Amino acid sequence: MRLFVAARPPEQVLKTLAGLARPQRPGLRWVPPSQWHVTLRYFGDSDVDLGVAAGRRVAEAATSGRPAVAELGPKLDSFGGNVLYVPVSGLEELAETISRGTAEVGTPPSPIPFTGHITLARSRGRGSSLDGLTETPVVGSWEVDEIVLVASVTAGRSGAPNRHEVVTTFPLGPSA
């Protein structure tokens, strides 16, 4: 099962993101709000029980420090002109703690530095452009009080996008 650890934005941030323009353009597929998250560590194909145990350990380790505050913006951006995203800063230390604490689970942690983001759309094919969208301002923040272990369920050969299912939630902070 393909697994990852993520931080999910709270309702007020989801409302901010849902209020952004979502123009219809050829080849542009908008990610549904139910799948908006910041991936903190991708495990790839992994055993669920290993992911849960590792998530529990890193959540306990993360509760000893100050809470991470996720900051959106200041404007939308893109990866390679194909992925439209909201930059999210402030989660670097949390992502590093999770990577260190879960190194034995699934795919080894990426050597590429963590780039916090929420993917909003993917562009495919000729004539699908993100022009003008990356200048859209967006601001917001939230205190990350939990992380989630998520399974990415493939929809099969139909070409439908993957579905994300929360396996379990790990509270962070002093009350955890």
Please spell the DSSP secondary structure of the chain, one letter per residue: -EEEEEEPPPHHHHHHHHTS-----TTEEEPPGGG--EEEEEEEE--HHHHHHHHHHHHHHHTTSPPEEEEE-SB-EEETTTEEEEEEES-HHHHHHHHHHTTTSSSPPPSSPP--EEEEEEE-STT---TTGGG-B--EEEEE-EEEEEEEE---TT-PPPEEEEEEEEE-STT-
* Nearest residue to 122 via CA among 81, 88, 86: 81
* pTM: predicted TM-score of the whole model, two decimal places: 0.92
- The per-residue pLDDT of the chain, averaged, comes to 90
Are 62 and 146 within 8 A, CB to CB?
no
d(CA 125, CA 26): 8
Kindly indicate the confidence band of residue 67, based on its pLDDT and cuts at 50, 70 and 90. Answer: confident
Kindly indicate the confidence band of residue 160, based on its pLDDT and cuts at 50, 70 and 90. Answer: low
pLDDT in tens, 102-158: 999 999 988 889 999 999 999 886 556 788 899 899 999 999 999 999 999 877 665
- Structural domains in the chain, CATH included, are 2-171 (3.90.1140.10)
- The pLDDT value recorded for residue 156 is 64
